[in-house]
Amino acid sequence: INVCAHIGLTPQRVRQWGSFQRQGTDADSARRLQADAGALAEAGARFLVLEAVPDALAANITRDITIPTIGIGAGPDTDAQVLVMHDLLGLGTESPPFARRYIEGGRIMRDALAEYVREVGNSQFPPRRKR
């Protein structure tokens, strides 16, 4: 069995807190996350997602545990990176501050849908086919 553990910001907490709050920003919470990472690795997790933690903390955890780390908003020093597709493509109305929107896909989709509705309304689509 391969287990992926996840520490730092977890999706269920975003709704509870109302925002994408960085985790491990003070000494106590950083120590707690560092200890959690070690405990999860020792318990048998095969890799660890670090989300929305300071770069230095992510680098320390990556250095100190024996399993690969995957960063999402955790700086460049993790073993791998992940970015949620909806954030990357700009499909949602809000993205976390650590995400990069490579395109504004939501706007592109809205524009395409509006054009479709306009063409149907103007009888431009579907085209008439010759029999």
Catalytic residue from among 42, 51, 94, 104: 51
3-state secondary structure of 72: strand
Let me know if 51 is a catalytic residue. yes
Give yes or no for a contact between 63 and 37, defined as CB atoms under 8 angstroms apart.
no
- Catalytic residue numbers read 51
